[in-house]
Structure 1
Amino acid sequence: MNTIKNKVALITGGTKGIGYGIAEALLAQGVNVAVTSRSAEAANETAKLLNSSSYSALAIGVKADVRDFGSQQNAVRKVLSQFNQLDFVIANAGLGHFGSIEELSIEQWQDTIDTNLTGAFYTIKASVEALKKSKGYFITISSLAGANFFAKGSAYNASKFGLTGFTQAVMLDLRQHGVKVSTIMPGSVSTHFNGNEPDAKDDWKIQKEDLGEMVVDLLKMNPRTLPSKIEVRPTMPPTKG
């Protein structure tokens, strides 16, 4: 089993939801973490909150927009400047616009693809040399929507189908360099995604700490073994009446 203490992780969209859960789990393992957000205030406030839990590792906030390649390059530079290494990159930033093809606007389509798919491309392009140097790990957070289509999900489905395929191809590209690549495809998760306010009604869903635990397990796995695509579902969703 790998030891991950004192390693360094960059998590895009790490200020809430799945990204925040992953940040907490990694800090608890002694991994230094950089969380990004389009908002500098949100990134810095999240880092402050994470550091208030007295982990031995350090969290920093970085303003970065995954839709902009230069912004992602700058985020990687800041991490390397702060920690002098980059071992794990979690491409988590994502959003969803939903509606029938008649309703979906050009802007909503572009925003979904640019964030969920092109954003992951920019993230690995900006960090690939650092990951090759550290023989690190690149993980994308896709979705079961990347394998199962549904009505009013054309933009989201397209972005997540694309992300799943993209990640698997990158895995084949980078394995020769000692870089491991995986995609995690969650079903329903208790987060603020799409305007949800998590509360007791979401107790049946996957929780953000569950995905944090999964990421830790992946990073600790023996280097000879690579779970390259993982589908994750709630054990017992409510029955539909």
Structure 2
Amino acid sequence: MAKFLNTSAINYFLEELIKDTKDRLILISPFLKLNDRIKELLADKNRLKIDVRIVYGKSELQPEEINWLKELTYIRTSFCKNLHAKCYMNEELCIIASLNLYEFSQVNNNEMGVLIRRTDDGELYKDAYQESQRIIRISEEVRISLERVSSEVESNPETEETSFDKLTTSKLAKQLGVKTGELTEKLVELAYLEAREGKYYLTAKGKEVGGEFRMSPKFGPYFLWPNTFRPED
């Protein structure tokens, strides 16, 4: 059965939930603000290549935290308008509580919550998981950045010039005389990109050669590459 949690218990089980994640971690919280302990735990999940999804409604990250988060390849962030839910879950446990993510380890607040174990409350866990997936689906996946994107003109990155020294994958493919799909497959094969769950992610190697991830609200994610970039044979 579901277990009632007070403030200190929420903090304890939330840390254990994150640490024990083996497959996928979902953190849903209205405010995105990370303390040192949370960053330490998330960095460890990233090193283990654990898929982490963070859904938030408002970001209060400092510039140094933004730069830190940008380096974590396996952590994806999504913005959800009017988000007020607080739900934290992995493949075995789910915590639904009043605690915001930024309040983790702050025992001065009075919080309440419940702990759901998949093995004990399979249907309840399933309902919570399905709702978390719905929230993820209606959220806009973004790559948090310090860069300010102009909203005056929303152009298609594949048909408009993006910069003088950067090319989209399709434009680079055209320059190299190959199809976009062929170039993408080669970038994955050479570890400049990584394919996960039907999506592509920029790797550390891709960043080293100057690759950049961009998100267009209308056309979705895309990558930019230096116009002098030539994938190694």
More strand by share: 2
More helix by share: 1
TM (norm. structure 1) is 0.27
